[in-house]
Amino acid sequence: MKFFSAVFLLTTSTLTSAFVAHRAAFVTKTQLFAAHPDASAAIEAAVKASKTYGPTSPEARVAWEVVEDIAASDNSAASKGTLDEECDWMDENNRLCMEYDTKKEKLAEAIKSTFDLNSMQKQLERIKAMAEEVQAIKIPVAASQPSKTTPQTAAALQAAKDAVAKYGASSSEAKMAWEELEEIASSGLSNSIGKRLDEECLVETAMEACMALEELNRVMNLDKTKNDSGLNA
């Protein structure tokens, strides 16, 4: 049972993703939020203040002003180019990223083919080697990367402030605007964490499945040895 549970989890982990419910009009798959830890902490505090004291409370507004200050300090974020425009494929960090993704794809393919029992032992060795290679890759993180917020978060924050100024802090319009901001920020925090956890889970589960398969092979070989000994006796 341990073997089948491990293999089932392993083969399905690459096919699922963690998404947080959100309103399609404001957040789409292309708007996933990848915040620097400094910005993430400020946004998380603002979301918590909104939930605890209300989206139009002074505590929540002060917390979101801190987020706005962090966003304003990164003037280059809005003009950031696409991945193709930014990436220099001769850069060491990008080379490691490409190597990591390639090996991870090969690992997923090897996992699927493990269901062929005739080549189980061979695939087991391949999966184990690939998982160890992926674990061995350490992608460096820039030491002075600026804090980031997405344009969607900044726009929602400005809309909330405008609603307060125009309709009043206790108005339904202001409340809805702050709720939209809270929803966008919460979705971004969840997605920025989810992707890395999913990738790490693939590698860790691969190693666990390999251990389960090895244990299964050991038990099967032990039983075979006992049976052979009984027949010879």
Q: Does pTM top 0.85 for this prediction? A: no
- Would residue 64 count as lying in a domain? yes
Q: What is the pLDDT along the chain (233 residues), one digit of tens a residue?
A: 443 344 334 444 433 333 333 333 333 333 334 444 456 777 888 888 888 888 788 887 888 888 777 777 654 444 454 444 444 444 555 677 777 778 877 777 776 665 555 566 676 677 777 777 776 766 555 444 444 556 777 788 888 888 888 888 788 888 888 888 777 776 655 555 444 545 555 666 666 666 665 665 565 566 556 656 655 65
Q: What is the pLDDT of residue 152?
A: 77
Residues 79/85/89/90 CA torsion (nearest 10 deg): -70
Domain limit, last residue, from 80, 107, 135: 80
Are 51 and 73 within one domain? yes
- Would residue 54 count as lying in a domain? yes
Are 179 and 162 within one domain? yes
Q: What is the pLDDT of residue 220?
A: 56
Q: What is the pLDDT of residue 95?
A: 72
Are 75 and 55 within one domain? yes
Q: What is the pLDDT of residue 83?
A: 44
Q: What is the CA angle 158-37-176, rounded to 5?
A: 30
Number of domains the chain contains: 3
Q: What is the pLDDT of residue 68?
A: 79
- Would residue 153 count as lying in a domain? yes
Q: What count of residues does the chain have? A: 233
- Would residue 161 count as lying in a domain? yes
Which residue is it, tokens 């030491």? Answer: 143
- The H or E element spanning position 155 is helix 151-167
Alpha carbon distance 171, 142 (integer Å): 43
Alpha carbon distance 65, 83 (integer Å): 30
- Would residue 159 count as lying in a domain? yes
Which residue is it, tokens 């099967």? Answer: 220
Read off the tokens for 210.
């390999």
**Phi, psi for residue 147 in degrees, rounded to 5:** -65, 150
Query: Letter for the amino acid at 175?
Result: K
Taking CA atoms, 216 is separated from 9, 207, 209, 223, in Å, by 17, 14, 10, 11
- Would residue 129 count as lying in a domain? no
What secondary structure, in 3-state letters, does the chain show? CHHHHHHHHHHHHCCCCCCCCCCCCCCCHHHCCCCCHHHHHHHHHHHHHHHHHCCCCHHHHHHHHHHHHHHHCCCCHHHCCCHHHHCCCCCHHHHHHHHHHHHHHHHHHHHHHCCCHHHHHHHHHHHHHHHHHHHHCCCCCCCCCCCCCCHHHHHHHHHHHHHHHHHCCCCHHHHHHHHHHHHHHHHHHHHHHHHHHHHHHHHHHHHHHHHHHHHHHHHHHHHHHHHHHHHHC
Owning domain of residue 161: 149-189
- Would residue 180 count as lying in a domain? yes
- Would residue 181 count as lying in a domain? yes
Alpha carbon distance 51, 44 (integer Å): 11
